Each structure stands twice: as structure tokens, then as C-alpha cells.
């Protein structure tokens, strides 16, 4: 299993949606870390564990951008079946991630 710990590998203070909104955006997280790790986990035939705990909190747009990009790029069911989201501090983030994965982008 591959693991991404956002607090340790990306930032303690995630930003908003787009690069234009400022540093450490959802788009940046997708490009820099999430997409690559997901591809590697698919190649290795293992699941990708994403740990959301440890940060100051997430803007809903950050999670939505990163995970809706992933879902639309690789297919919603395929993404959701290969992800393990850990969010013990705010379990509701898991629901937000799931909704984002299944969201159809225009």
C-alpha cells in the first residue's frame, strides 16, 4: 500500500482550489502528489492511503478540486475502490472526498 500524509508530505496549511488562489492549492496537490502516487499505486496493484489528519483543516474547495480531478481522470469507481481515506479528526471529510470523486466536472 502506498501512503500520502498531507501534513507531512505537502503542507500543514492547505490552501484553496486553484494555483491562482495561492500556494498549496488543491490543484497543486493533485499535480504534485496525488496523481503521481495514484498512478504508482495502480501500477503496483495496491491501494493508495491518503491521511488527512494533522493539518489545520481543509477548505472544501481544496478537497473538491484535488479529488474531482482524480475521479474524472481515472474514473470514479476505479478511484474510490483504490483509495483509503483516513480522517479521524473530522470524519466528514471522507464524505466530502467521496462526493468529489463522483462529481462530474463540466
Partner 1 sequence: MKKGNKLWFNVIWFLAGSFTCYITLQYTFFEIDAKLNIPETLISIGTAIIGLYIANTIQKRLTKNQNQYTYVEGKLDAIWAGFNNFSQGVLYNDSIEVNVLSKYSKEAIHSIGFVKSILISYELNVTCVSELETELESFEAYLLSLPISANIISTIQSKSDVEGKIVSLNQCFAKVLKLIHNI
Nearer to partner 1, 44 or 88 (CB): 88
Nearer to partner 1, 7 or 42 (CB): 7
Contact flag: residue 100 with partner 1 (CB under 8 A): no
Residues 16-75 that bind partner 1 (CB under 8 A): 16-17, 20-24, 56-62
| CA separation for the pair 81, 83 (Å, rounded) | 6
- What are the residues whose beta carbons fall under 8 Å from the beta carbon of 49, sequence distance 6 or more? 1, 2, 3, 4, 83, 84, 85, 86
| CA separation for the pair 8, 4 (Å, rounded) | 8
Q: Where are the beta strands (DSSP E) in the chain?
A: 2-5, 48-51, 83-86
Nearer to partner 1, 92 or 106 (CB): 92
Q: Which of 1, 45, 92, 106 binds partner 1 (CB under 8 A)?
A: 92
Nearer to partner 1, 22 or 75 (CB): 22
60: number of Cβ within 10 Å: 14
- Contact footprint for partner 1 (CB under 8 A): 13-17, 20-24, 56-62, 89-92
Amino acid at each position: 500500500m502506498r501512503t500520502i500524509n498531507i501534513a507531512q508530505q505537502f503542507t500543514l496549511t492547505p490552501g484553496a482550489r486553484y494555483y491562482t488562489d495561492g500556494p498549496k492549492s488543491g490543484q497543486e496537490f493533485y499535480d504534485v502528489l496525488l496523481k503521481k502516487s495514484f498512478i504508482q499505486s495502480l501500477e503496483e496493484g495496491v491501494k493508495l492511503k491518503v491521511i488527512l489528519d494533522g493539518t489545520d483543516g481543509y477548505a472544501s474547495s481544496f478537497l473538491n478540486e484535488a479529488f474531482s480531478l482524480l475521479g474524472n481522470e481515472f474514473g470514479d469507481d476505479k478511484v474510490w475502490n483504490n483509495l483509503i481515506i483516513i480522517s479521524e479528526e473530522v470524519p466528514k471529510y471522507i464524505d466530502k472526498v467521496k462526493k468529489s470523486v463522483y462529481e462530474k466536472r463540466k
